[in-house]
């Protein structure tokens, strides 16, 4: 691993050059950050769980015709992906009010929204990922109007599919963040889903109890973060049922 060329190190993942041109390797770390990296911790096993959960999401979305950067999982912490140029936007979908939407607009957390809402934030940690309008995106050339339309259409399909997938395992998909990339094809570009979909980037609440099964457990010091991620992976059928959560994580770790 040390001989590989590192392309980029983010808060929760490291990107390395892949074995063939046009590929990269995503390495999932155990590092957790929140509030623009003001709060930090190492959560043992989180990277393993997110690698598996994100693989599962990308594969299921690929099956319904969503183009993704995902090629295959390599081992417990790494996946091989197509190299794309990341569109510098965080695309957020909200089905139920929570987080910054509740704070910004005074909508009570937990209120079901009249329809799913897609928001765009500029990917700029130094500015705190500010919310931007399509006007800003096209005026500053972060994406074209056609790309925004394609991204919005794909995002709504992804949201519909994931809402159903999570409903099937007794989980409400409150909101989530996704990123897209431009994949070079035949002299042009295709917009594809990139990055990851995991409990780090989603709000997931148990349907019956509203128990949080996502990164809010870390943000709000609720404890049991990897246990919650393990529960999501278990309900998805990615890892086997086991009474002892720490055992489940060790099973995942030793699996590959």
Whether 88 contacts 106, CB under 8 Å: no
Q: How far is CA 195 from CA 33, 68, 82, 180, in A?
A: 16, 9, 11, 7
Q: Identify which of residues 55 and 179 has a Cβ nearer to ligand TYD in the complex.
A: 179
Of 64-72, 144-152, 201-209, 235-243, the window that binds ligand TYD (rule: CB under 6 A) is 201-209
Find the shortest distance in angstroms from Cβ 192 to ligand TYD: 19
Q: How far is the CB of 175 from ligand TYD (least distance, A)?
A: 4
Mark residues 78-117: x for contact with ligand TYD by CB under 6 A, - for none. ------------x-x-----xxxx----------------
CB of 129 to ligand TYD, least distance (A): 5
Q: How far is the CB of 243 from ligand TYD (least distance, A)?
A: 29
- Given 79, 155, 201, 230, the residue binding ligand TYD (CB under 6 A): 201
Helix/strand/coil for 141: coil
CB nearer to ligand TYD: give 148 or 178. Answer: 178
The Cα–Cα gap between 165 and 161 comes to 6
Q: Where are the alpha helices (DSSP H) in the chain?
A: 46-63, 99-105, 134-139, 145-167, 216-219, 225-235, 245-255
Residue 253: strand, helix, or coil: helix
In angstroms, give the least distance from the CB of 14 to ligand TYD. 17
Examine residue 54 and tell whether it contacts ligand TYD (CB under 6 A): no
Sheet holding 6-9, edge to edge: 6-9, 13-17, 23-28, 78-82, 70-73
Q: Count of CB atoms within 10 A of residue 125's CB?
A: 11
Of residues 89, 113, 41, the one with CA closest to residue 193: 89
Helices 245-255 and 46-63: crossing angle, nearest 10°? 70
Considering the rule CB under 6 A, would residue 226 count as an interface residue with ligand TYD? no
Q: How far is the CB of 83 from ligand TYD (least distance, A)?
A: 22
Residue whose CB is nearest to ligand TYD in the complex, by number: 99
Q: What is the DSSP track for 116-140? A: EEEEEEE--GGGT--EE-HHHHHHT
For residue 13, state whether it binds ligand TYD (rule: CB under 6 A): no
Q: Looking at residues 116 to 175 of the shown chain, list those that interact with ligand TYD (rule: CB under 6 A).
A: 121, 129, 175
Number of residues lying near ligand TYD (CB under 6 A): 14
Binding region for ligand TYD (CB under 6 A): 90, 92, 98-101, 121, 129, 175-177, 201-203
């Amino acid at each position: 691993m040390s001989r590989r060329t590192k392309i980029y190190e983010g808060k929760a993942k490291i990107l390395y050059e892949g074995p063939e041109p046009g590929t990269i390797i995503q390495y999932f770390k155990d590092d957790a950050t929140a509030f623009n990296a003001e709060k930090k911790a190492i959560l043992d096993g989180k990277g393993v769980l997110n690698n598996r959960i994100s693989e599962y999401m990308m594969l299921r979305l690929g099956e319904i015709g969503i183009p993704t950067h995902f090629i295959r999982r390599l081992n417990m912490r790494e996946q091989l992906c197509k190299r794309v140029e990341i569109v510098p936007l965080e695309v957020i979908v909200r089905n139920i009010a929570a987080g910054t939407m509740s704070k910004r607009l005074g909508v009570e957390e937990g209120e079901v929204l009249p329809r799913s809402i897609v928001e765009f934030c500029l990917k700029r940690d130094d500015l705190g990922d500010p919310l931007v309008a399509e006007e800003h995106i096209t005026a500053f050339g972060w994406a074209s109007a056609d790309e925004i339309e394609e991204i919005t259409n794909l995002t709504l399909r992804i949201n519909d599919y994931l809402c159903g997938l999570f409903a099937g395992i007794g989980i409400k998909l409150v909101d989530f963040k996704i990123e897209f990339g431009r994949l070079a094809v035949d002299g042009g570009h295709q917009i594809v889903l990139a990055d990851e979909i995991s409990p780090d980037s989603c709000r997931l609440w148990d349907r019956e109890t509203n128990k949080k099964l996502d990164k809010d457990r870390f943000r709000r010091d609720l404890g049991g973060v990897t246990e919650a991620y393990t529960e999501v992976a278990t309900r998805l059928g990615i890892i086997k049922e086991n009474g002892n959560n720490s055992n489940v994580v060790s099973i995942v770790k030793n699996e590959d």
